[in-house]
Structure 1
Amino acid sequence: MNFRFAAVFLLPVGLAHAEPRITQSDFGGTGLLQTPTARMAPAGELSVNANRTEPYSRYSVSLQPLDWLEGSFRYTAITNRAYGSEALSGSQSYKDKAVDAKVRLWQESHWLPDVALGFRDIGGTGLFSSEYFVANKRYDNFDFSAGIAWGYLGNRGDIDNPLGYVSDRFDTRPALEGTGDVNSGSYFRGKPSFFGGVSYQTPWDRLSLKLEYEGNDYKHEPKDNVIKQDSPINFGAVFKVADSVDISAAWERGNTAMFGVTFHTNFASRKAPAKTYDPTPEPLPAKMPTTSMEQVDWANVSQRLQQNAGYKVERITQRDSELIVYGEQQRYFHSSKAVGRASRVLDNSVNDDINWFTVVNKRYDLPLEETSVPRETFREVINNEEPVLSLHRTTEINPAMPRNEKTLYSEAPQHFSYGVGLGFKQNVGGPDGLLYQFSADADAEYRFNRSTWWSGLLSANLINNFDKFTYDAPSGLPRVRTDLRRYLTESEVTMPMFQLSHTEQLDKDLYGMVYGGYLESMFAGVGGEVLFRPTGERWSVGADLNYVRQREFDQGFGLRDYSVVTGHVTGYTDLPYDMLAAVSVGRYLAGDWGGTMDISREFSNGVRVGAWATITTASSAEYGEGSFDKGLYLSIPFDEMMSMSTMRRANLVWAPLTRDGGARLNRGYQLHSMTDSRDDDMFYRNFEKITE
């Protein structure tokens, strides 16, 4: 499994839900102990869980992208079973990987309960696969649950399958160990069992108690484990150490202790840290300046726009009573905050001949959108004479269009820039166990002009345990990704990227880019991309085409013999609940043809959670374990975690296995992400930041 991680700090967040508290189960996901409930955490909730119940150690992450949808991914270490032969994995215990999902079908009302449908282990080996219906009803400080489960959760099988009256096939559940597929052929098959329980919120708000009856009798455990159950009744407690930390303890099976810890936060409702390291926004003058436009120190205005509003200015122009700034935003994640600060700087600098301030946001010389602020209304709002809603109604976002203007100031481009930082790579889930690397990374950029640039990245190893990385997964396809071990171990200093790029606005809503060089750690080549993205629309479409060759394992300048033409046509569209769907069809790095579906949700603060699945012409046998490519991801703006503004993101991507089928080129620059500001929803959802 390939697990790419950028550090995320889970900061405290106040509880936003009603009591009794909604807590995590042993498996991850809201529930009691071994059993799930129909309850859902608030949208935007992230929980990281770890617990131990002999012989299982479980580690899971649960995400709540929507009020009615919960997703989890989990590792289970079966500590009394070996991963494989000693030659393959030494003494490492067996590791199982799984994906769970739960959907609320009915929300609790005065008379009716919450009702949910759930699936465990839908994308893994099927060792713990299960399907269930569960209902919850709350009474005062008690929250009662009851459900019916097939598969692992219902292994006692103490009732006949009611679906057997529909078809005899539902009476028998097929064995699924080791498939790594979606397991849909086993859904709701076999004899099910009832389960249920109750949670009780004690008068002490830090302590909750749980009692449950589980439907598993532990007589059919994975890997032929022999586990004794003295009682189907489990009981335990959850103690809130802090708003973001829970610890759990329980007595399960009538003979086994469980201990666990959960870290959680809510990225939709939590407040970002105060930006104490940001410059103070310029106060508005009591009276507008009287200096003529010819006497303004525009170089000083440009400097203040960069230092205080984050815009690297290209030029400043005038069109009648409108002052226009062309520049590239380099600091503020929320464009409304940047526009507000730029308006303050301009209001402090020009006389009352100017009635409108317009900022044209550009990225590598691509005009993305222009935001126009009425000066008088802006001043009234800042001075608390009008509500911010008045400014919301009159502020305009339009396509950036060329027009006749008087140029007041132009600034020469800054050619060279660089940065240093700490890198982290992780690979977990194979027979080599947890692998990691910390590196010192240096990136640099040279702009030949505003639309043509070179970018590079050097990475020097600091500490790693890759000497334990000995396993290459089998593959029936060209090894475009499964040579990962060699790319990670053959050099102490690597060059993941060394690339020349050029962008161009081809038409009002049409953008293009060409690029060439060492495009990622495993492939070099040349390619191009076009994107049609109308301003303010909820859809766009793009295409890319690339000719690439495989790089040498040391990630230097050398190339290997394997080459391929790869590319995709991708359509993007907004969905309800602030969701985005991206569908790509084309050719992948191993020469297989197919499609990728990516569904994500972005919250108002920019936090994005999503999942993807790729199915190609590669057969299950060619692809290997897992059958097809799939994964989950979480992207968090560093702006949400730091005391200074930044446009960078922390990205966590979870793919259960590294395989060659469905592999796409990992390009560092993509037009859709480069033009995200053309979607004005984020601007208006955070419009109040225009006053900060």
Structure 2
Amino acid sequence: MQNRGARGQGAGYLFSCLLLCGIPVEAWSQVSATVEQSTSLGDWLVSHHVEQASSAAKAPLYSHALMWSRPLDRSLQEASWRSLLTQIRYRPARPAIAPASREGLYQLIASRQPTGRLPVKSGDGAWLQANPSLDPVLAAGDTIHIPVRPETVTVIQEDGRLCRVPYRPEAEAAYYVSACNPGVKADLAWVAQPDGTLDKFRTGAWNRQAQTAVAPGAWIWAPARNSGWPERVSDRIGEFFATQAPSGLETNDSVASAPNVAPPALAAAAPLATRRAQDLAITTNDWGNEGLLQTPSARMGTAGEASISMTNVNPYTRVNVMLHPLDWFEFGFRYTDISNQAYGPASLSGSQSYKDKSIDLKVRLLQESAYVPQFALGMVDIGGTGLFSGEYLVASKRTGGFDWSLGLGWGYVGERGNIGNPLQIFSDKFRTRPSGNGSDEAGGTGKSYFRGPMSVFGGVQYQLSNVPLVFKLEYDGNDYKHEPFDYDAHAKLPINLGVVYRFNKNLDFSAGFERGNRAMLGVTLHGDLSRLGTQKVSDPARLPLAVPRPAPDAPSPDWSKTVADLKAQTHWTVLDIGRHGHILTVSFDSPDAFYRKDLLDRIATVLHRDAPADIDTFRVVTVVQGQTMRAYTILRTPWVASKTQAIPVTDRQTTVIAGAPPSRAQLEAEPKLYDKPFERFFYSIGPGYSQTLGGPNGFVLYAVSATANMALRLRQDTWIAGELSYRLLDNYSHFTYTADSNLPRVRTYLREYMTTSRFTIPYLQATHVGKLGTDQYYSVYGGLLEPMFSGVGAEWLYRPSNSPLAVGVDVNQVWQRAFNEDFDLRNYRTFTGHLTVYWDTGWNNVLVKLSGGQYLAKDRGATLDVSRQFQNGVSIGAYATKTNVSSATFGEGSFDKGIYVQIPFDAIMGRSIGGLANLAWQPLTRDGGAKLQRQFPLYDLTDDRSPKSLWYQPGADANVDADKR
């Protein structure tokens, strides 16, 4: 590692001459120097007074465009440069590229040599000194070049000619491209900024996005829409020019003699100089889907987007929850309050109005391009009563600030029914659609999909530039003559209009006038769950990094202080510290933080400060219930270098490696430097909350409780854990309804379990876990396994370290617990168990869980659980269970299903912490497909063995500057 305390002594011949040969500072036009002695860039800039030189020069030096070049990287870039030239001259393209364009661009790039330029965060020496991890270390032979600030931006023409445009503050790429190529339509622009960064912007009227301004000296490559240049080639062209010096300062190519763009062309492009490009405003409709008002569009939120909305159009108030696990797929659920219809008899529901539950989904079929609209297929109110069931096919096309939609709807979406169904050529069943008023043949069943006549629907939205308003106008495909419960809506017009006010990036307010006689009001809370993250303001302050290792003759460290500092920095408990040769091993007991990288850095900081000089590797081992799960190997020297200097990409190496852990026996065989006394008892006290939604006794029934969780360890691998709960506040006095059932009542006694006793024991379980060989785990357990069942059981899991696959089997003999949730039992017992396969597919981070076996009601079948996981740990998923009982026997809902979102507490808390918040929605509680909700499943206990152990990291919202990047 370089000694960052030493100041650079050699500045290269040219710079030394400028200092020593008497040349006035005012005459400097640039700084160019070859480094003769290793030093940091920040030290070099400060010691050679570059900032003072810049302020004194006739033309100020452009430190923003500082170029640091290395001979090694020049050689590597040369290989990429030659490959690019081959692609340009010989690679076929569709449509074909004009020969003159190929040759001209080839000659331009061939005339420019690779520079070996490496990115630098700043050209300010003092700033780099204050941020050593971003300050690169220069080696002898490296070159530094700081040009003067140019006054132009250069657009690279398709035939290799260069067009120079006077720089205009805050102007975006479209202004410069239009000035050089009036009337030419370019959908993408690559902007190589003078600091060596490369931006890629969508610039067409159909795909325009918000973008940063172009800096003076930038290069812009923006081929015309039909030029034939493949996007992957354009990517490489942009990357090449990002390594070049800023444009506008050349002395030996065509741009030096090319005149500036003519004034008429600048005048024509001038309106674009002040026009800010913006992203397409994707807003929700009255149903929570992306769309206009009553009608959907083909637009989709980005993967991770979620929204909760409430809209009111008399007599309907809708609460919608929509999720986007993938860019091309949306699903969610809805509650619709029908204010003019009672839920049931007053003796059951009081004055509560009717609540309808529904599930929606939408799939993008074709993505938008310059000439082709985006297409999507959607379904509304799948299953259930089908009061609002409908399907649709819709297309959307953007033209600047306008976004147009046109679609065909079936069912409620196309209730106007003014077009015959073309699907009737396949079967006469498609000619008519069953009633949607809650009968067995309701519109929500599979028997009704895409049946009946259709209607056209569509409209347009317009978003104002630089004003957070979106106006909407649509033609409604529903005439409202066939509303649920035979309600006559008296629609006067097929036209709806409205406006959305974007209060901020997460909150929209909407209002409209619909059907010619209805007002609409709505509010939508939306955001990207994949960006979710919180600054760790409650984590302890980081310890300073002691760069040099302790001296070889330094006394042995006080390991108890090391342990105390590790505990303070991570909140993790150290089990022991051992040494084997040049490896120092620290074992932690059940570390619970979701994001590990930052905490591993904190651990390395403490260990580097205290570990003897001859220790080259730190090994951090996680131990869960006595079983070693994961080893993180930290290479001491590269790790320190990565924290004290900017490492070029070509020199970077992995400093923290996740791998299979040593066995517990191997760890115990190492000589111990510290060994923690065995702790037996653990407890925590906190609040608890439970609720049921959408029942006939009330839309929200809730309970707030005080809970105490306790655990007694008999050994590291054997423990007794339990929970005590006391219900403090609730409205369960309204809970009188018990659902009917044709199966053994294993879940439909929900009311009895929730209302019989205020003091309960939700679980009290004894568990032993062990390991069979390298990759197999087992557990045996017994006791009060969950609030409704007690019993005994065993589980086996095969889960190799870093493998995307795992297989498990659990078997359980269970007895139904008494309603007061104490130690009494009812007379129902059964055997339940499942074979489960877990597969992290690697495709869009989708996790699939498939299990099959016998459920609590003695029915047999399978459960499919599919979820999308994001890098910040958020998961969006859904599950469905189908067993050997018929839909009629199962009851309302036909089969068990649900939707869930899991959010790590680490993403929403101000300190590093483990655990997940599980937000689940199950439309109905039935007895079929019910699984035992036991404690401590092995797949959860072995989560450290996942190949994503170091993949997780906080979302972009954890960075206060995330929106400025």
- TM-score band, normalised by shorter chain: over 0.9
SS of the residue 1:639 aligns to: helix
CA deviation profile, 1:238-282 (whole Å, cap 9, x unmatched) = 112232211111111110011111111211124x22111101222
Which residue matches 2:458?
196
Report how far residue 292 of structure 1 moved. 6.8
1:183 paired residue among 419, 422, 445: 445
Structure index of larger Rg:
2
Which residue matches 2:836?
570
CA deviation profile, 1:352-400 (whole Å, cap 9, x unmatched) = 2111111111211121121111100100011124269966635322211
Number of positions where the alignment pairs a residue of Structure 1 with one of Structure 2: 676
Which residue matches 1:378?
639
2:751 paired residue among 476, 482, 485: 485
**177-186 vs 605-614, which deviates more?**
177-186
CA distance in structure 1 between the partners assigned to 2:443 and 2:817 by the alignment: 31
Which residue matches 2:808?
542
2:856 paired residue among 570, 575, 589: 589
CA distance in structure 2 between the partners assigned to 1:392 and 1:440 by the alignment: 50
Contact 1:181–1:627, Cα closer than 8 Å, also in 2? no
Which residue matches 1:516?
782
Matched, 1:429 2:691: no
Q: AA paired with 1:646? A: I
CA distance in structure 1 between the partners assigned to 2:954 and 2:379 by the alignment: 39
CA distance in structure 1 between the partners assigned to 2:353 and 2:473 by the alignment: 31
CA deviation profile, 1:576-629 (whole Å, cap 9, x unmatched) = 100100000001011111100000011000001100000011222221111110
Matched, 1:214 2:479: no
CA distance in structure 1 between the partners assigned to 2:624 and 2:444 by the alignment: 41
Task: Evaluate the alpha carbon distance shift between residue 552 and residue 389 of structure 1 in structure 2; reply closer, same or farther with a 3 A threshold.
Answer: farther
Q: AA paired with 1:431? A: P
Which residue matches 1:341?
602
CA distance in structure 2 between the partners assigned to 1:427 and 1:461 by the alignment: 15
Which residue matches 1:357?
618
Which residue matches 1:10?
none
Which residue matches 2:526?
264
Which residue matches 2:792?
526
Which residue matches 2:421?
161
Task: Evaluate the alpha carbon distance shift between residue 266 and residue 566 of structure 1 in structure 2; reply closer, same or farther with a 3 A threshold.
Answer: same
**461-470 vs 273-282, which deviates more?**
273-282
CA deviation profile, 1:127-184 (whole Å, cap 9, x unmatched) = 1111111111001111001100111100111001111122222112123525599722
SS of the residue 1:189 aligns to: coil
SS of the residue 1:408 aligns to: strand
- Give identity over the alignment, percent: 45
Contact 1:51–1:259, Cα closer than 8 Å, also in 2? yes
SS of the residue 1:597 aligns to: strand
Task: Evaluate the alpha carbon distance shift between residue 685 and residue 491 of structure 1 in structure 2; reply closer, same or farther with a 3 A threshold.
Answer: closer
Q: AA paired with 1:393? A: T
Q: AA paired with 2:390? A: S
Q: AA paired with 2:600? A: V
Contact 2:619–2:632, Cα closer than 8 Å, also in 1? yes
Which residue matches 1:4?
none
CA deviation profile, 1:201-220 (whole Å, cap 9, x unmatched) = 02353211111111111111
CA distance in structure 2 between the partners assigned to 1:74 and 1:389 by the alignment: 52
Q: AA paired with 2:807? A: V
Matched, 1:108 2:375: no
Report how far residue 668 of structure 1 moved. 2.3
CA distance in structure 2 between the partners assigned to 1:181 and 1:193 by the alignment: 16
Report how far residue 538 of structure 1 moved. 1.1
CA deviation profile, 1:262-317 (whole Å, cap 9, x unmatched) = 111211124x2211110122222132123779822222222222221333222212
Report how far residue 687 of structure 1 moved. 10
Which residue matches 1:643?
910
**307-316 vs 513-522, which deviates more?**
307-316
Q: AA paired with 1:116? A: A
Q: Could you say what the CA RMSD is over the residues aligned between the two structures, in angstroms?
A: 2.2
1:213-612 counterparts in 2 under 5 A?
A: 213-270=475-532, 272-290=533-551, 295-386=556-647, 393-402=654-663, 403=666, 405-433=670-698, 434-575=700-841, 576-612=843-879
Contact 1:378–1:391, Cα closer than 8 Å, also in 2? no
TM-score by length of 2: 0.68
Task: Evaluate the alpha carbon distance shift between residue 290 and residue 688 of structure 1 in structure 2; reply closer, same or farther with a 3 A threshold.
Answer: farther
Which residue matches 2:65?
none
Contact 1:44–1:268, Cα closer than 8 Å, also in 2? yes
CA deviation profile, 1:621-662 (whole Å, cap 9, x unmatched) = 221111110000011112211211211221111000011000
Task: Evaluate the alpha carbon distance shift between residue 392 and residue 579 of structure 1 in structure 2; reply closer, same or farther with a 3 A threshold.
Answer: farther
Q: AA paired with 1:114? A: Q
**567-576 vs 288-297, which deviates more?**
288-297
SS of the residue 2:610 aligns to: coil
Contact 1:367–1:505, Cα closer than 8 Å, also in 2? no
SS of the residue 2:290 aligns to: coil
Contact 1:392–1:687, Cα closer than 8 Å, also in 2? no
Matched, 1:82 2:347: no
Which residue matches 2:315?
55
Q: AA paired with 1:415? A: R
Contact 2:907–2:954, Cα closer than 8 Å, also in 1? no
**480-489 vs 161-170, which deviates more?**
161-170
Q: AA paired with 2:862? A: G
Contact 1:310–1:329, Cα closer than 8 Å, also in 2? no
CA distance in structure 2 between the partners assigned to 1:145 and 1:122 by the alignment: 23
Contact 1:31–1:39, Cα closer than 8 Å, also in 2? yes
CA distance in structure 1 between the partners assigned to 2:694 and 2:891 by the alignment: 15
Report how far residue 543 of structure 1 moved. 0.8
SS of the residue 2:712 aligns to: strand
Task: Evaluate the alpha carbon distance shift between residue 393 and residue 123 of structure 1 in structure 2; reply closer, same or farther with a 3 A threshold.
Answer: farther
Q: AA paired with 1:618? A: V
Report how far residue 331 of structure 1 moved. 4.4
**635-644 vs 55-64, which deviates more?**
635-644
Contact 1:45–1:266, Cα closer than 8 Å, also in 2? yes
CA distance in structure 1 between the partners assigned to 2:475 and 2:954 by the alignment: 50
1:648-687 counterparts in 2 under 5 A?
A: 648-684=915-951, 686=953
Task: Give the structure with the larger strand fraction.
Answer: 1
Task: Evaluate the alpha carbon distance shift between residue 517 and residue 130 of structure 1 in structure 2; reply closer, same or farther with a 3 A threshold.
Answer: same
Structure 2 residue runs without a partner (length 5+): 1-209, 212-276, 960-965
Contact 2:862–2:881, Cα closer than 8 Å, also in 1? yes
Which residue matches 2:303?
43
SS of the residue 2:951 aligns to: helix
Contact 1:290–1:350, Cα closer than 8 Å, also in 2? no
SS of the residue 2:382 aligns to: coil
CA distance in structure 2 between the partners assigned to 1:325 and 1:635 by the alignment: 31
Task: Evaluate the alpha carbon distance shift between residue 63 and residue 178 of structure 1 in structure 2; reply closer, same or farther with a 3 A threshold.
Answer: farther
Contact 2:344–2:354, Cα closer than 8 Å, also in 1? yes
CA deviation profile, 1:44-93 (whole Å, cap 9, x unmatched) = 11111111111101011111111111111000011101112222322211
SS of the residue 2:561 aligns to: helix
CA distance in structure 1 between the partners assigned to 2:725 and 2:751 by the alignment: 16
SS of the residue 1:683 aligns to: coil
